[in-house]
Each structure stands twice: as C-alpha cells, then as structure tokens.
Structure 1
Amino acid sequence: MQITIKYFGQIVEVTHKTEETLEVSGNQIADVLNTLQAKYIKLKDLGFQIAQNQELVSLNTKISGAEIALLPPFAGG
C-alpha cells in the first residue's frame, strides 16, 4: 500500500525530506515505523509521535489513511 509520509522539525534533518510516498507492507502503524527505521537508521534515536490523517495514533493502530506524519516533541506555553 502506498502512503504519504510527512516529516517535521528534527526529523527532516534525518530524512532530508519534508514528505515522501512509500510502499509499505503490513496493516499497522508499527509496520510503517519499521519500514522508516530500516530506511533511516537515525530515526531510532529520536522521540516523536505519529499522526494518521491529522490525529495522533499508537503503534498498534490499523492503517486507515493515506497520510501519516512524524511529529517531534513540541514545547509550548
């Protein structure tokens, strides 16, 4: 299945991209993360959250959308 992955913040520094389309096997967000970590080894060292269709999801969430975003930690006040 083809999925558009969007990257933000420090994750862009690792991938050197803000967005890409990948072919992912599997049906859970964890499968997407495994594919990305195999492609970008340094992702394993970063803390981030994952959103699917602009909603935060867990690793065992079923892939149901065509857009996934990796979001670095945000600080606010």
Structure 2
Amino acid sequence: MVITIKFFGQITEITECTEETLDVSGSLIYDLVEELYGIYPQLADISFKVAQDQELVPLETPLNGSEIALLPPFAGG
C-alpha cells in the first residue's frame, strides 16, 4: 500500500524532508513506523504521535491508505 507521510518539527530535521511517499508492506500504523525506523534510525530516539486523516491514532490502527503525519511533542502555554 502506498502511503504519503508528512513530517513536522524536529522530525523534518531527521528525515531532511517534509513529506515522503512509501510503499508499506504491513497493514498497521505500527508496521509503517517500524519501516520508518529502518530508514531513519534516529526516529527511535524521539517521542512522536501519529495522525491518520488528521486524527491521532494508536499504533494498532489499521492503515487505510490515507495521509499520515508524524507529530513531535508540542510545547504549550
């Protein structure tokens, strides 16, 4: 399944891009994240949330072929 992934914040520094398209062999968000760890090992060193269709989702969520975003922690005030 071909997935478009958007990167934000410090994740763009690691990936050196803001968007990427990957052909993912798995069916869960977890599988996508594991593939990204293989491409960008430094991702494993930071905390981030995953959004699918602009909604935060757990790693056990099935991929639906929509847009995925990796979101670093945000500071608020």
Number of equivalenced pairs: 77
TM-score (structure 2 length as normaliser):
0.97
Shift >6 Å, 4+ stretches: none
1:39 lines up with 2:45 in the alignment: no
Question: How far apart are the structure 2 equivalents of 1:66 and 1:17?
Answer: 19
Displacement of 1:65 in angstroms is 3.5
Where does 1:35-74 land on structure 2 (aligned, <5 Å)? 35-74=35-74
Query: Which residue number in structure 2 is paired with residue 3 of structure 1?
Result: 3
Unaligned runs of 5+ in 2: none
Shift of 1:61: 0.4
Q: Which sections of structure 1, spanning at least 5 residues, go unmatched?
A: none
Report the 3-state secondary structure (helix = DSSP H, G, I; strand = E; otherwise coil) of the residue aligned with 2:73: coil
Identity of aligned residues (%): 60
Residues 19-49 of structure 1 deviation map (CA, whole Å, 9 limit, x = unaligned): 0100001110000001100000000001000
- Native 8 Å contact 2:2 2:65 kept in 1: no
TM-score (norm 1): 0.97
